[in-house]
Amino acid sequence: MSDTTRIPPCSAHAIELEAGDELVVIDPEGQQVSDLTAFSREDVREYLSSGRSIDYASRMFLTTGDLLYSNRSRPMFEIVEDTCGRHDFTLTPCSKDTFSIIYGETEGRPGCEGNLAEALAPHGIEVDDIPIAFNVFMHVDVDSASGVIRVLPPKSGPGDFVRLRALMPLIVGMTACSAGQSNNFRYKPIDYRIIRAAEADA
């Protein structure tokens, strides 16, 4: 197993996985969100698709045993372990414009979108290519009647994690989220570990 790597608050990392590798996304302090997005290394126009994944699971909230599909309807990940159980897959990564429109902020912080774009640029992925993310640990309440959504503090406590098995060669971007609503206005780090398939088989 690799060492644990830390994503500092309000930033993003990009990594590469082979089919069979496992990625463990960890909330080290509790109540923090990681926006995770993935692209096929064979063709970055194939990306992790919320709409396909929700449709095929017939469920908005995905957890252990669920598959995360690409826009081309191919499984990209299986969720093999999930100690939190509540994540969001409906909202786009926060951005400079999100902060302006929702929070009235004027500082121009890049947000998860800007941080993902910077981390993914060396892989040929541009800001317009960043879709709705799998927002690990993000807690979005939905009212069935009105459709009103509320972004609540994550249900994750210190050490909660999600373990994802890659089902194809992937480029993965993930953040320590920059949006106050998502993490109860306490911007924290996110940790991750990679378990390489070769090592797991050994």
* Cα–Cα separations (whole angstroms), residue 194 to 13, 35, 37, 46: 13, 17, 16, 22
Give whichever of 30 and 111 is closer to its own copies, judged by the CB atom. Answer: 111
Q: How far is the CB of 108 from its own copies (least distance, A)?
A: 13
What whole-number distance in Å separates Cα of residue 25 and Cα of residue 5?
10
Distance of alpha carbon 87 from alpha carbon 66, whole angstroms: 12
For residue 101, the minimal CB distance to its own copies (Å) is 5
CB of 130 to its own copies, least distance (A): 8
Q: 132 or 190: whose CB is closer to its own copies?
A: 132
Residue type, 26: I
Identify the DSSP state of 103. I
Closest approach, Cβ 189 to its own copies, in A, equals: 24
On the CB side of 97, CA atoms within 13 Å amount to 3
Element (H, E) at 57: helix 50-57
Report the residue number, 150 or 186, with the smaller CB distance to its own copies: 150
Q: Which is nearer to its own copies, 128 or 201 (CB)?
A: 128
Q: Give the nearest distance from C-beta 125 to its own copies in angstroms.
A: 13
Nearer to its own copies, 57 or 195 (CB): 57
Cβ atoms within 10 Å of 77's Cβ, excluding its own: 28
Q: Which residues bind its own copies (CB under 8 A)?
A: 45-46, 49-52, 54-56, 58-61, 71-73, 90-92, 95, 97-98, 101-102, 128, 131-132, 141-144, 146-150
